[in-house]
Amino acid sequence: MTISVGDKLPDVQLVKATGDGPQPVQSGDYFAGKKIALFSVPGAYTPTCSARHLPGYVEKADDLMAKGVDEIACTAVNDAFVMGAWQEANNASDVTMLSDGNGEFAQATGLTMDGSAFGLGQRGQRYSMIVDDGVVTELNVEEPGDFKVSSADHMLGQL
């Protein structure tokens, strides 16, 4: 079942990429008590993700914060080392990287995609959501191959 607006996020382990190395976090704890702009990419360093998706959130970080967002987070079915390197390579210090290395968060939300045709295996779909104290208040899932509703600009219009 796919997560919907009004649902509480599933409580699974993610790994936060930090300057001190990977730090395990429970999603239930991480999202509690904050308003978080979360976006998911099929993979760090993939074309649309690197050229448009992440840069949009980096560019609009101050605007999102000014509209009441406490934190911006990105998740992908990549390991924390890749997520940390991607963050550094894109000067994305305003975006918290949450590794979903085993795809458990993607599976628990029902937002998976099969990228096997491209050698990617099972991944998380491209989407964005606003999460307020662990509850999804906005959910924007892209159609395959699209990049419209999960952008930082679209999210700004929802806040």
The domain that holds 50 is classified in CATH as 3.40.30.10
49 catalytic, yes or no?
yes
Decide if 4 is inside a domain.
no
Kindly report the length of the chain.
159
What pLDDT is stored for residue 155 in this prediction? 94
**C-alpha span between 123 and 121 (Å, rounded):** 6
pLDDT tops 80 at residue 121: no
CA dihedral 148, 153, 75, 48 (to 10 degrees): 50
Q: Which of the four pLDDT bands, split at 50, 70 and 90, describes residue 132?
A: very high
Decide if 43 is inside a domain.
yes
**C-alpha span between 27 and 93 (Å, rounded):** 20
What's the mean per-residue pLDDT of the chain?
Answer: 91
Q: Which of the four pLDDT bands, split at 50, 70 and 90, describes residue 134?
A: very high
What pLDDT is stored for residue 84 in this prediction? 95
pLDDT tops 90 at residue 89: yes
Query: Which residues have a Cβ under 8 Å from the Cβ of 34 and sit 6 or more positions away?
Result: 70, 71, 133
Decide if 132 is inside a domain.
yes
Decide if 8 is inside a domain.
no
pLDDT tops 70 at residue 119: no
User: In which domain, by residue range, is 113 found?
Assistant: 13-158
Decide if 3 is inside a domain.
no
The bridge status of strand 112-114 relative to strand 95-99 is unpaired
Amino acid at 71: E
Q: What is the pTM of this model?
A: 0.93
Catalytic residue among 3, 15, 49, 111: 49
Q: How many domains does the chain have?
A: 1
Decide if 6 is inside a domain.
no
pLDDT tops 90 at residue 7: yes
